[in-house]
Amino acid sequence: MCSWCWGFSPVIDAIQERFGSDLPIRLIMGGLRPGTTKPTDEAAKRTTRAHWEHVHGASGQPFDDGCFEREGFVYDTEPAARAIVVVRRSGMEQALDLLKQLHLAFYTQNRDVTDEVILAELASESGVERRAFLEAFRSDEASRRGSEGFRA
């Protein structure tokens, strides 16, 4: 859930379209703000908004900063990254599709990608059965992989 990754996503799309399987793209998850539990304060909101404006200016990608208006907004990237890790087991293509869905949901639709119901809906749109996703997402293994930094 990196705003620069969102900003760069049209380039990744173009690379995929141009080179296809000749240049495979792999998602390796890191942690921008994993495990954050404190609501975002006003200073952090200002800093993040300024950062997103910079990414928008450089990339043209749209941003909806309405998330900062949510009561008690916690900017925790772990659930979205864990969702990618879970879906990546089904294939890189589905994981890349889910990443697009997550980016759109968070950066342009002000959807809460820390909510497992929303994550399951997005995973379902990427071709993963909702119940299987939730079972895997809630598993000890998925949580453990999260604490290990989401290595492949």
Mean pLDDT across 42-67 = 95
Quick check: 60 and 53 in contact, CB under 8 A?
A: no
pLDDT of 29 over the 90 cut = no
DSSP code at position 107:
I
Q: 16, 24 in Cβ contact below 8 A?
A: no
Dihedral (Cα; 136, 85, 126, 34), 10-degree rounding:
100
Residue 20: other Cβ atoms inside 10 A: 9
Per-residue model confidence (pLDDT) at position 117 = 96
For residue 83, which phi and psi values (nearest 5 degrees)?
A: -60, -40
* pTM as predicted: 0.86
Per-chain mean pLDDT for the chain: 88
pLDDT tops 50 at residue 34: yes
pLDDT (tens digit, 9 = 90+) per residue, 91-141? 888 999 999 999 999 999 999 999 999 999 999 999 999 999 999 999 878
Q: From residue 33, how far is each of 37, 76, 130, 142, 147 by CA, in Å?
A: 10, 5, 25, 17, 12
Please state which of the ranges 15-19, 76-80, 108-112, 116-120 shows the lowest mean pLDDT. 76-80
The whole-number average pLDDT for the span 73-85 is 90
Judge whether residue 152 has pLDDT over 60. Answer: no
Contact 67, 115 (CB under 8 A): no
* Mean per-residue pLDDT, 4-27: 92
Over residues 44-50, the mean pLDDT reads: 93
Domain 3-20+27-147: homologous superfamily in CATH: Glutaredoxin (3.40.30.10)
CB 24 within 8 A of CB 136: no
Q: What is the pLDDT of residue 146?
A: 52
Give, in order, the Cα–Cα distances in Å from 7 to each of 11, 13, 31, 64.
Answer: 9, 12, 17, 13
